[in-house]
Amino acid sequence: MLFHSTRGKDKDKTFEQVLMQGLADDGGLFIPDNWPKVDINKLKELDTFLDVAKYIVPMFTQSSFDKGEVEEVLNNTWHNFSEKDLIKIFDIDESTAILELFHGPTAAFKDFGLQLAAAFFNKTLQTQNKTAVVFGATSGDTGSAAIDACKEFDLIKSFILIPDGNMSEIQRKQMTTVDKSNVFPILVSGTFDDCQDIVKKGFSERSFLRDDQYLLAVNSINWVRIIGQICYYFYASLIVNKLSHPLNFSVPTGNFGNVFACYAASKMGMPLEKIIVAVNSNDILDRFFKNNDYSKKTVSETISPSMDISVASNFERLMYDFYLNRNSEACSNLYNNFPEYGIKIDDEMWQKSVDLFMSYSINDDSTYESMKFYNNEYNYVMDPHTAVAAKAVSSLKDKLKNKTIILSTAHPAKFPNALDNAGIISDDIPDNLSEVISKKEVASKLSASEDSIFNYIKENN
């Protein structure tokens, strides 16, 4: 099975090509040529997350690696998790459970996708006898998960731009206290958008690379990250009911990567009732699912910063596969004038949404309410991102059939100010985080100028 772009021009790519390239040449996003189908009876016999991953991942990688190679990579992929089977499921009541995806080294679910990405980056670099530069900007959890995932691999140097802004102190310290010779956190006096612009320029001009070096992106459009996330939807369904009944999943989302992984799992055969798309006041997705209005607005800063986005990059994959029935020309046309002009699709087409999706937008006050509610009623402390997904569930409860799984994407200790403001006291801090708090920060400080940043990379590459 090969991969092609949602805009149709970049096609017949192997897994390895898609992995190392990230974004398609025509500006679209890669998607598999067809959806591989699972054998539910085989999956039912599995026990652990790793078993599930060893079943799912090879379905996407066979164009580049044989099954034995993939199993070897996977045996060493997910590391430094504090839970034996990586994930814990906490039952709130008979109809609701929380899928805790934050037991990895950086205490957010991004460890699942980025550790898989780093493991395959490294495998490819070894095979091809090459090295790589990882270059990215972060507004929160991506940077720390990328740095952590790549730091053990000497063939990869990571340069991550950290803007002044709405990041928690712990999130920043997770990047600035790593102290490894192949890791370069850069504190930039500028906004996240400034940083992203510089990264974008970097990818087009590449002047700081040595000959024959890869430049790798770690943003959420890389297909390999979706694969890592598909695995935990199957795992959750396996643990909750042996894949026997459709579940609802409530997903706190920004860039739509995590939601798309859920959709992909259902296309592969996972029983699914509804996906609840839960967003903060950056509500482009909610406006689409409620009013068929996918248009860009300025970003507002919220207490769930990892979902503060103006457009949801991965949504293009859903548009292409679900609404447009894989018509790449139509997809190209829709995205041609976006984001200058918003997207509105044919009403009949848009009606399809109700079969599978519900959405909800939650402001900061309701997010605090939700954190308090679950703490008071169930003695369960959740982080503000999780609280957004939980609030969507309590608000939509009357419309939901079957059991609902709330995805918990970050450990609450990552957001101490939000806990404070909600009046929640908790001394549960994972070891990985408490170590970070006491360590010394080491980072270069640069202005938001391309020249200074590109020169810095060149000097240190």
Ligand X SMILES: *Cc1c(COP(=O)(O)O)cnc(C)c1O
CA 219, CA 142: separation in Å to the nearest integer? Answer: 7
Q: How many CB atoms lie within 10 A of CB 368?
A: 20
Q: Of 13, 42, 110, 151, which residue is the catalytic one?
A: 110
N-to-C CA span, the chain: 35
Q: With respect to ligand X, which residue has the nearer C-beta, 122 or 250?
A: 250
Residue count (the chain): 461
Q: How far is CA 121 from the centre of its chain?
A: 17
For the bound state, the minimum distance from the C-beta of residue 206 to ligand X, rounded and expressed in Å, comes to: 27
Q: Which is nearer to ligand X, 176 or 258 (CB)?
A: 258
Nearer to ligand X, 58 or 136 (CB): 136
Question: What are the residues whose beta carbons fall under 8 Å from the beta carbon of 123, sequence distance 6 or more?
Answer: 65, 69, 73
For ligand X, which is the closer residue by CB, 5 or 258? 258
Task: Determine how many CB atoms are found less than 10 A away from the CB of residue 169.
Answer: 13
Residue from 409, 422, 429, 436 touching ligand X (CB under 6 A): that is: 409
Peptide bond into 339 cis (omega under 30): yes
Q: Which of 306, 359, 370, 375 binds ligand X (CB under 6 A)?
A: 306
Q: Does 141 bind ligand X (CB under 6 A)?
A: yes
Q: How far is the CB of 261 from ligand X (least distance, A)?
A: 8
Would you give the distance in Å from CA 174 to the centre of its chain?
Answer: 18
Residue with token string 């900007």? 137
Of the candidate residues 81, 234, 256, 357, the single one contacting ligand X (CB under 6 A) = 256
**The token pair that represents 25 in the structure block:** 């040449």
Question: Segment contacting ligand X (CB under 6 A): 81-89, 193-201, 254-262, 344-352?
Answer: 254-262
Least distance from ligand X to the Cβ atom of residue 295, Å: 19
Q: Residue written as tokens 């935990």?
A: 232
Phi–psi pair at 312, nearest 5 degrees: -110, 90
Q: Which is nearer to ligand X, 61 or 306 (CB)?
A: 306
Q: Which of 223, 148, 153, 186 is nearest to 456 (CA)?
A: 186
CB of 415 to ligand X, least distance (A): 9
| Calpha distance 293→345 (Å, rounded) | 8
- Identity of the residue, 128 or 426, whose beta carbon is nearer to ligand X in the bound complex: 426
Which amino acid belongs to residue 155? L
Whether 445 sits among the annotated catalytic residues: the reply is: no
Contact 25, 10 (CB under 8 A): yes
Query: Which residue shows structure tokens 């679910």?
Result: 109
Question: According to the binding rule CB under 6 A, does residue 252 interact with ligand X?
Answer: yes
Q: Residue 447: name the closest of 147, 198, 183 by CA.
A: 198
- Identify residues 4-33 at the interface with ligand X (CB under 6 A): none
Binding range to ligand X, per CB under 6 A, among 30-38, 90-98, 257-265, 369-377: 257-265
Give the shortest CB-140-to-ligand X separation in angstroms: 6
Question: Segment 219-248, which members bind ligand X (CB under 6 A)?
Answer: 220
- Rounded to an integer, what distance in angstroms lies between the CA atom of residue 64 and that of residue 47? 27
Q: Is residue 308 within 8 Å of residue 254, measured between CB atoms?
A: yes
Shortest approach of ligand X to residue 309 CB, angstroms? 7
CA distance 314 to 310: 12
Bridge pairing between strands 183-189 and 30-32: unpaired
Exposure on the CB side of residue 185, measured as CA atoms within 13 A = 28
Asked if 410 interacts with ligand X (CB under 6 A), we say yes
| Candidate residues 58, 105, 140, 412; the one interacting with ligand X per rule CB under 6 A | 140
Closest distance to ligand X from the beta carbon of 312 (Å): 7
Position 411 contacts ligand X (CB under 6 A): no
139 versus 182: smaller Cβ distance to ligand X: 139
110 binds ligand X (CB under 6 A): yes
Single residue of 53, 97, 108, 330 touching ligand X by CB under 6 A: 108
**With respect to ligand X, which residue has the nearer C-beta, 253 or 328?**
253
User: Mask 365-404, x = binds ligand X (CB under 6 A)?
Assistant: --------------------x-------------------
Round to whole Å and give the CA distance between 461 and 260.
Answer: 35
State yes or no: residue 360 binds ligand X (CB under 6 A).
no
Binding of ligand X at residue 217 (CB under 6 A)? no
Least distance CB 60 / ligand X (angstroms) = 18
Report the catalytic residues.
Answer: 110
Contacts with ligand X, residue ranges (CB under 6 A): 108, 110, 140-141, 220, 252-259, 306-307, 385, 409-410
